[in-house]
Chains A and B, each alone.
Chain A
Amino acid sequence: MSFSKVNAVIVGAGAGGGIVAKELALAGLSVVLLERGDWPRYDEHNDDELYSQRTPALGNPFGPDNRRHRRVVVNPHGSTRIVLPSEGDYSNNAGCIGGGTASYGAMAWRFMPQDFRLLSTYGEVTDSTLEDWPISYDDLEPYYEKAEYEIGVAGDYTNNPFCGPRKRPFPMPAFPYNKEGRRIAEAETRMGLHPFPIPMLRNSVPYHGRPACIHMRSCVGFACPVNAKAGTHNTVLPIALATGNCQLRTGCVAAEIIVDDGGHARGVRYFDSDSRAREQPADLVIVSASATETARLLLNSKSRLFPNGAGNNNDWVGRNLQGHCYVGACGLIEEEVYEEAGPGATVGISDFNHGNPGLVGGGMLANEFIDLPYRFCNVRPPGEARWGKAHKDFQRRYYKHLVRVIGPFQEIPNFSARVSVDPAVKDAWGIPVCRLSGTRHPYDLQGGEFLSEKAEAIIKETGATRVWRNGPSLWLSGGQHQAGTCRMGHDPKTSVTNRFGQVHQIDNLFIADGSLHVTNGGFNPVLTIMALAYWVSDHIKTGWKGSKF
């Protein structure tokens, strides 16, 4: 069954799609927003560690479910296996209204100016697809600011000499350091580093009609019970819906972007919440389904001019999958530093994001979110017993005595780390599923070692008695920070979209999510995804001619 035509159909109501929906609906376009999940409901989400998006032992509370979704993972030695959404190798983010922003830790980093021009700053890296972005920090700066003010960020960069120029301060004051954060900040200051409060998409004071944070220990991986954590579900989406121009359809799984024989997008074919096949015709199609699912949707959209999937005539869709190579160090400290005050990550440094001798890129370092007791079972020095009385003793003795610094080393993109669609395995709707293959670039091992050594030095300086490092691995990276699979660029031969997220050769098909990232910064990527969504929306609004683009 087909609906009457609208101006824009958007796939995915997460960080990117929620913003595009609001921007276009406010500009007067008629919008249909398709979301495979539903509104997160607080009565389903309490403080249950086994049903949290961070440790989904019993399933993903914020979707997708294990019953209808599958992926295929190709192991480094070539064998394949089918994985469920709650298993780590699925590389899940979320499947609900708000996407990852409903349950994230909410760090609100801007990338640094150098992050947009890694190639010209550092030169080529062998066997990589390292490239500059087609846009600069300055291009994106007003949109970062818009995200900080509209979604709401608490922060203070007074003590951060490394950030790019900003025109306005943060709209909310920063959160104070917790006890662990104070120990780490003192150590960093003694070492001549520059600690500052982590910017957060979380209310430090009442903002936009929502209250201030109440510091639940169960924060990251959970929805906020008082709505102090800002996502698209509780900020821009309500505005979009209030315009009357945006219709949100939940439980809707996109199967294909319809591309006609002339190379124009005509709408989206999808399955509704009763699994009925539907079509939504539209003047514009915007895909904001995350780096893995956006690539899958494009690859599953075959047409006369694009027999290998929409925008994929040069085989770049799904390539360069990257997340972050997380590394760090832990230490056990005599003093009880645990505080019953979530989410726990409070202090960061940007000293090692760039300018590291002999190294391409780098990453920020920050103290970590509170680990609830089950997750803490894996916080152990090498060689420590995993079970028995020794396990119990460690839990009892050290749960409240952990100091830890971790950070995302900026990955070097490579062509073989990729999303393709599996030739055989399909989901519950008969749609070919994501097939994830490849590894990280070997360079990430070198960079990760460097960053974890820096973390180790900080932890030692805190006075911790027993210190160990968590080093890098080559394991394919995706997950919540997934990015890069439909990169923007000037050259259609080596990119999927132009600098405005417009797919090369399909002028009414846009992408607005982490897929666009050429490189992924040494930071959590969500604020950049939000800024890009505003940037793409602005371009659409500017070029909008009333019925076509």
Chain B
Amino acid sequence: MKPTNSEAASAAKPARVSRRTMLKLAAVGTLGAAVGVGASAGITHWGRTAPPPCRFFSEAEARLLTAICEQVIPRDDTPGATDAGVIYYIDRQISGPLARHQRNYRLGLASFRKTCLQVYKTAFEELAFEQQTDALRLIEAGQAPEELWSGLSQQAFFDLVLDHTRQGFYGSPRHGGNRDYASYRMLGLAYPNLIGRNRHANGRPI
């Protein structure tokens, strides 16, 4: 499907994340993991290739959103949202079919940032993993300072990110997320679905 939504045109000019910045981001994430702060921001599974730049999100927005998504589906003994490339799913889709959500991401991420700075005196990405979880619960419950959220409710923003993170994690890799069918591996589902390979007759494998 081609990106068709007319709202795409009215959105703010995309701020590209440079290759150099993303390498720095990756380094920060690795450091975080090394000192036991948490692996949430670690974009570490790109091998020797630099991660691709974002189309819509600024580097600061991408860093924050990556950390939020990692809270929604964290890495444990199987890959999490960062490993699966969820940020690239969201970035690509809101530059296309989901362009109607651009404004909400701009507003929501700014309010989210302000909320953390006011409540925790620290940027979300720099909080310990458990503190990040607490911050997200606060926003999910709509209990962050109301005055920091105008034009979009905190619960609505949370639900938006929750839904898009799930889409990016469980959807087809062709949309930018679910890298290497990470979620299908996790669930033990055959992938990809091959016509004629994983076929059955009368409900029984043949």
Interface string of A310-348 (1 = CB under 8 A from B): 000000000000000000000000000001110000100
Residues of B182-203 whose CB lies within 8 A of A: 183-184, 186-190, 192-193, 195-196, 198-203
Question: Could you tell me how many residues of chain A have their Cβ less than 8 Å away from some Cβ of chain B?
Answer: 45
Closest chain A residue, CB of each to CB of B99: A66
Task: Return B124 CB to nearest CB of chain A, in Å.
Answer: 15
Is B74 located at the chain interface by the 8 A CB criterion? Answer: yes
Is A379 located at the chain interface by the 8 A CB criterion? Answer: no
A395 to B76, CA, bound (A): 14
A339 and B98 form a contact (CB under 8 A): no
Mind listing 28 A-B residue pairs with CB under 8 Å? Answer: A48-B171, A50-B172, A50-B175, A57-B167, A58-B93, A66-B4, A66-B97, A67-B4, A178-B203, A204-B202, A214-B200, A214-B201, A215-B199, A215-B201, A217-B193, A339-B200, A340-B200, A340-B205, A341-B200, A341-B204, A373-B170, A373-B187, A373-B189, A377-B166, A387-B136, A396-B186, A396-B187, A399-B188
Since A47-B192, A178-B203 are in contact, a sample of 13 more A-B pairs with Cβ atoms closer than 8 Å, ordered by chain A residue number, is A46-B172, A58-B1, A65-B4, A66-B4, A214-B195, A214-B199, A215-B201, A225-B195, A373-B187, A387-B72, A388-B72, A392-B76, A400-B187
Interface string of A25-57 (1 = CB under 8 A from B): 000000000000000000000111111000001
Closest chain B residue, CB of each to CB of A344: B203
Residues on A lying within 8 angstroms of B by beta carbon are 46-51, 57-59, 61, 65-67, 84, 175-178, 204, 212, 214-218, 225-226, 339-341, 346, 372-374, 377, 386-389, 391-392, 395-396, 399-400
Task: Return B69 CB to nearest CB of chain A, in Å.
Answer: 10
B171 and A215 form a contact (CB under 8 A): no
Which residues in B have their C-beta under 8 angstroms from that of A46?
172, 193
A49 to B136, CA, bound (A): 27
A57 and B171 form a contact (CB under 8 A): yes
B98 and A58 form a contact (CB under 8 A): yes
Which residues in B have their C-beta under 8 angstroms from that of A400?
187-188
Q: A84-B100, A340-B205, A373-B183 are in contact. Are A59 and B1 (CB under 8 A)?
A: yes
A66 to B175, CA, bound (A): 18
A528 to B204, CA, bound (A): 31
A84 to B4, CA, bound (A): 12
Q: A66-B5, A215-B200, A388-B71 are in contact. Are A48 and B174 (CB under 8 A)?
A: yes
Interface string of B3-31 (1 = CB under 8 A from A): 01110000000000000000000000000
Q: A59-B1, A84-B100 are in contact. Are A392 and B74 (CB under 8 A)?
A: yes
Q: Which of A204, A226, A373 has the most chain B CB atoms inside 10 A of its CB?
A: A373
Is B49 located at the chain interface by the 8 A CB criterion? Answer: no
A373 to B100, CA, bound (A): 25
A247 to B108, CA, bound (A): 51
Residues of B59-109 whose CB lies within 8 A of A: 71-74, 76, 78, 80, 93, 97-98, 100
A373 and B198 form a contact (CB under 8 A): no
Which residues in A have their C-beta under 8 angstroms from that of B97?
58-59, 66
Closest chain B residue, CB of each to CB of A205: B202
Task: Return A236 CB to nearest CB of chain B, in Å.
Answer: 26
Which residues in B have their C-beta under 8 angstroms from that of A65?
4
Which residues in A have their C-beta under 8 angstroms from that of B200?
214-215, 339-341
Is B133 located at the chain interface by the 8 A CB criterion? Answer: yes
Closest chain A residue, CB of each to CB of B97: A58
Which residues in A have their C-beta under 8 angstroms from that of B184?
373
Which residues in A have their C-beta under 8 angstroms from that of B163?
57
Residues of B115-164 whose CB lies within 8 A of A: 133, 136, 162-163
Which residues in B have their C-beta under 8 angstroms from that of A216?
193, 195
Task: Return B49 CB to nearest CB of chain A, in Å.
Answer: 25
Q: A50-B175, A226-B195, A341-B203 are in contact. Are A387 and B162 (CB under 8 A)?
A: yes
Which residues in A have their C-beta under 8 angstroms from that of B4?
65-67
Which residues in B have their C-beta under 8 angstroms from that of A388?
71-74, 133
A225 to B197, CA, bound (A): 13
Q: Which of B184, B192, B198 has the most chain A CB atoms inside 10 A of its CB?
A: B198
